[in-house]
Structure 1
Amino acid sequence: MIRRPLTLVLPMLIAMLLPWPTFAAQYNYIDISNPFLRKTPIAVPTFKAAAQDPAAMSVARATSERLAYYLTFTGYFTISDPDAFLEDPQTMNITGSGIRFRNWTAIGAELLVTGGVVARDGGVEFELRLFDTVKQKMVVGKRYRGSADDHRQVARRFGSEVVFAITGSRGFFDSKIAFVSNGSGHKEIYQCAFDGSDVRRFTRHNSISLFPDWSSDGRWIAYTTYAGKGPEIRIQHVTEKRTARINKPGLQAVPAWVPGKFELAASLSFSGDQEIYLLTGNGKVIKRLTSSVGIDVEPTWSPDGKRMAFVSKRSGNPQIYIFDTVSGRAQRLTFEGRYNTQPSWSPKGDRIAYSAMHNGVIDIFTINPEGGEPTQLTENQGNNEAPSWAPDGSLIAFSSTREGKSRIYAMTAYGTDQRRLLTLPGEQSNPKWSPNILNP
């Protein structure tokens, strides 16, 4: 079904839905819940530049290359080899009416992206389309207007359209990752784009800062720092110079924002043992959530905010429990092994990722929140810790010592396609994936 024309006004970038004379539809080509996912072959030829304009040609090539990279990063696609193309991307029709689809199915490409770039009036216009080569139909088309420097943003935006069209999920192209790095000589919190690019320093305490967590709207990061007299939680705005603190004595550790609310949970010790409390986004205590003999730490929330997984030593060693906010009861979730920590609840709600000591090393596992057998995702590659889900639940970021120093990696929700995201001076750890927070 054709969607109504839509215009999005962005800083230096405008996007519009392209008209299409036949019925274009959204299909669930890829079952992202399938652990044996078959990657879909997609062709992304170099986009056409009007009148062979050198400036437009450079932008066209950069945009198509960036889009191919982003689509590969998802783990859903394989990019068709340009050397196998039976069409010349610079002379072929890109609108659909003149595309010889059999030339694309012949090389195994089930999907095809075409694009055109025009430099006009000091700006650049982009036309991008996704075609199903088997059904010989356009799936989605967009026109963008901006500057030459917007080509990365255009690739990211259209990449999101492609992922949504074939999976029904908005993906993660509008997200960031916060993490800890000691490259400056101190453990500080940094930010980067979802793929490890555009690294920026967030804290400058010249101390130890750990355990960042994003608010649901992406405007705040809460974290633990030793910049004061002891470990305390800071709640800091991402772009403005606004900071809140928790006015309670004792240890403060590992904050976790409640989904959809300006509230967070954190482990505090002002009443004795470390217990988990619910706080306002300004650091005021609302109520106590856990109560036990032994410390309770590392909260993580279910997507609906009704349940909270956490780590407790109430059984004698660190295990993961689930607290129900309605009944007030906590039940043990993990039973295998004597060291299970760092739980992270999937945005889909169906799995909890965590770190566990296994055969003398730390690896990452997932488990159903209702219980059952855990699934091991990493093995025989150093220590692997601190899993954090992408906003669509398709990828997991984590830290690993598989190359010696601790670095940030990503893998699919099933443990495949494990790859390093970035390499910086020092070591990196404690990754935390943001929600999709960039402007649509």
Structure 2
Amino acid sequence: MDLSTKETKLVSTGLGVTTCAYFEHPKCENIIYASTHLGGSSCPPKPDYSRGYVWKLYPDYDIFKSTRDGKILEQMTNSPGYDAEATVAFDGSKVLYTSISSGDLEVWSMNTDGSNKTQLTNRLGYDGGAFFNSTATKIVWRVYHPKTEKEIADYKSLLEENSIRPMALQIWTMNADGTNKKQVTNNEAANFGPYFFPNSNRIIFSSNLHDPKGRDFDLYAINVDGTGLERITYFNGFDGFPMFSPDGKYLVFASNRNQIKRGDTNLFIAEWNYK
């Protein structure tokens, strides 16, 4: 999308289903995204909600890199099962992504040419949506670790069906090499879409913490040590997936506000008084 003209251009293949697109820093000449197009030209079937609200982990998802015009396409992963949710360090040194190649949903890293794939998490449960901080020394990601026998059985059963139920997702941080894992949030809410402030001292994320029914999501900020929780938006609906511009002057996020029809989600940019 051109920010001045709002003109959009299709740069993926237009086949299958595509998710989690991200510019390859620092030059932003390439785009990294996940797609199922090698598994078929049609969109995969929608999730079965008979067991409640679930995310579908389509096994045909692999991660690809293309030029900004979409003309040159390179496959970066080819393991069986779900590979998606890729993001890139600002210095262009590494790619983070979520993969089920180990048998569970874990955060992995690799070089921007697809080499040196390294598993960073290894605890039963969902680990995903990972981002580097501005210096590529820290990682923030969202976590669901089942604890009780029932939670573990339910998680494993859904995983066999290539699905996951996003329950009480928590925010965690770790070093870029996977060491020094620390839990940041500790509540019964669904916390997701975490992103570091430019100074790496705080994290912005989306949560339904304030809504007893769990349907209303707003943006929050918190210190990396779990203190100083602050609510940022107060919209009666969905605000999520916040990200700062590298200089910290702007915040972009997705929201249902100003929707033409129920369920519409659009992108919004706000100036940020960064301190």
TM-score (norm 2): 0.69
Q: Residue 183 of structure 2 aligns to which amino acid in structure 1?
A: Q
Q: Deviations over 1:224-265 (max 9, x none)?
A: xxxxxxxxxxxx122213212125111110111112223221
Closer, same or farther: CA 306–382 of 1 in aligned 2, 3 Å: same
Gap runs ≥5 in structure 1? 1-235
Give, in whole Å, the separation in 2 of the partners of 1:309 and 1:374.
16
Q: Deviations over 1:187-229 (max 9, x none)?
A: xxxxxxxxxxxxxxxxxxxxxxxxxxxxxxxxxxxxxxxxxxx
Q: Which of 106, 120, 128 is equivalent to 1:333?
A: 120
Q: 1:277 offset after TM fit, Å?
A: 0.8
Give, in whole Å, the separation in 1 of the partners of 2:223 and 2:71.
37
Any idea what SS the aligned residue of 2:38 has? coil
| Equivalent residue number for residue 195 of structure 2 | 388
Contact 2:62 2:84 in 1 (8 A): yes
| Equivalent residue number for residue 410 of structure 1 | 221
Which one is further off, 268-277 or 281-290? 281-290
Q: Residue 17 of structure 2 aligns to which amino acid in structure 1?
A: L
Q: Which structure has the larger Rg? A: 1
| Equivalent residue number for residue 271 of structure 1 | 38
Contact 1:244 1:283 in 2 (8 A): no
Q: Does 1:436 align with 2:268?
A: no
Q: Does 1:257 align with 2:27?
A: no
Q: 1:400 offset after TM fit, Å?
A: 1.1
Give, in whole Å, the separation in 2 of the partners of 1:433 and 1:380.
25
Closer, same or farther: CA 437–407 of 1 in aligned 2, 3 Å: closer
**Structure number having the greater helix percentage:** 1
Give, in whole Å, the separation in 1 of the partners of 2:71 and 2:11.
6
Q: Residue 267 of structure 1 aligns to which amino acid in structure 2?
A: A
Q: Which of 303, 312, 315 is equivalent to 2:90?
A: 303
Q: 1:432 offset after TM fit, Å?
A: 2.0
* Equivalent residues, number: 204
Closer, same or farther: CA 415–238 of 1 in aligned 2, 3 Å: farther
Q: Residue 112 of structure 2 aligns to which amino acid in structure 1?
A: T
Any idea what SS the aligned residue of 2:169 has? strand
Contact 1:409 1:420 in 2 (8 A): yes
Gap runs ≥5 in structure 2? 40-59, 148-166, 251-275
Q: 1:281 offset after TM fit, Å?
A: 2.2
Q: Residue 377 of structure 1 aligns to which amino acid in structure 2?
A: V
Q: Residue 394 of structure 1 aligns to which amino acid in structure 2?
A: N
Q: 1:403 offset after TM fit, Å?
A: 0.5
Q: Does 1:294 align with 2:72?
A: no
Q: 1:397 offset after TM fit, Å?
A: 0.9
| Equivalent residue number for residue 235 of structure 2 | 424
Q: What percent identity do the matched residue pairs reach?
A: 25
Give, in whole Å, the separation in 1 of the partners of 2:198 and 2:24.
14
Give, in whole Å, the separation in 1 of the partners of 2:114 and 2:237.
45
Contact 1:354 1:387 in 2 (8 A): yes
Matches within 5 A, 1:13-412: 236-248=1-13, 249-262=15-28, 263-272=30-39, 273-325=60-112, 328-358=115-145, 359=147, 361-404=168-211, 405-412=216-223
